[in-house]
Structure 1
Amino acid sequence: MSHYSLLSIKNSTFALAPSIQLHFSFPQPEHGKSWYIRTSLINEAPILVTINMLLRFGTSFYITLTMSRLRRLDRAILTEAADITPLDSEDQEQLIVQLANYNDTSLRLFLKVLVGSILLEIPVSVFAMKHSVGGTRPVALLIVCHVLTLVNCLYDFKQPSETAAAGSLCAYLLTFDGPRFRSLVFVSTHIFSFYGILVLNTVVLIQLLCRVYAAHRFQALDMLLVLPVVNLVAVALIRKWYRDVSQEILGLHGLKYKFKTA
């Protein structure tokens, strides 16, 4: 069992330099370590905590608290001018709207770059596939991969509006009688969703890679097949990053406070 003992405490007025030493003993200590930790103020004076861990048979570590001599530097840092003026309620809402607009603008920029790169990759990769494997099936699978990625880029990435239209249409279709029709609507809404297209694209891409590998292993020209994989991962990451930032911005509404300037 671990135990500790208090060796000595030397204490004086904080105006002087107090020194507090605590001695802790452990049966199975870690390797020796030493580090310094800057802490907050004690009696309006910064302190420097020195923690020394020494390895010695039963080994122990000492905690020494000494007054820091960097008061002038710390005071300059702590009193550094900062704009802490509270924002007006309308300014808070405007700031949140600006962050949301910036997130939407970044999404449109990333999608434009991704779509442009895919459109440039299609003729190059199709030409390379014809000379590498040959046949119409591998070329068709490659084109399908690019088309499915473009379809994923056309989806609305916004959390509320993404399911609004699809959800209302699904609710309307489910009003019709017939279990088969309802099951068909349920399956179709999942297949043609963003993740449904993403999974379908992954399956097609795996089939393409297996066909190329079975034909002649992988050659240097087949390295262009990495591009559809990169596009697939990119569209998924763009969606995830956008959704995460949107959730963080949405959470800012709960941090608003009531303040009205004169």
Structure 2
Amino acid sequence: MDISVCQNPNHDSQRLKYICVDPTCCVPKKIGCADCFLDDHITHIRKTTTQFKEQVSQSIEQISQIEFQKVTGSPQRDLDSQIDFELENCIDCIKSRFSSIKSDLKSQIDSDMTKVQDNCTQFQQNMNNELDPFKLTIQNELPSLNHNELNQLVKFYQEAPKIHKHYSKTAELLQDEKQKVKQKKQKYLNKMKNIMQILLKEFNELMTSKNVQFDDGSEYETPQKQAMSPNKMINLVETARSSRRFPMSQSQKKYFLAAVTKKLD
């Protein structure tokens, strides 16, 4: 039996030439010859089987070309190097305090980037799951398809522009989320730099030859040393840290006071 010709005995074995793509069509049989369409689809939108197959293939190819960019590498590589470079100029006790801040920033940024990556992977899988069945079906001869398979292709044909718009918009939104994470990273990095610049400014003023006077055992302190006493250094760090959420505990203050005093001695 030739599956490419109409099996209706009254249609003179005409070739199955047309596909009904009308969104309002409720007729189960979407493929037919010219007489079939005169009987059941006379006012409906139609395509030839060749046109239909070409356009479905084009839609599949067009949607398949949407790319979901994968996040590669760590978002912290440049952040690590810049923060480490800045911290090299700080005294050891200050550096140890900032390491906790850096760890927190890393965990926040990495967590955000992981969410973006997971969303990219999920939407890529969703798109593949939606398109793969049609990729397989459209490779067959249309007359060989059952009603359900052909109806599914017709439905896909009708909804292909909407599907393409959906996944294109999703890809744009995910790219925007990735950019927001980068901006957040830069914002935190700038805060870190500002804190370190405040500390470095005070350290530079303290360590200039004009200001530094070593304690020779005299009971009198220089005005410069009074202005940058260990307690004031603790207050300076506390002030610089106030924009973050890392206040010093009493034990940390005691440790830091001892470290700074040792440095100044």
Instruction: Please report the TM-score for the alignment, with normalisation by the length of structure 1.
Output: 0.30
- Structure having greater relative contact order (Cα 8 Å, sep ≥ 6): 2
Structure with more of its chain in strand, by fraction: 1
Structure with more of its chain in helix, by fraction: 2
Instruction: Please report the TM-score for the alignment, with normalisation by the length of structure 2.
Output: 0.30
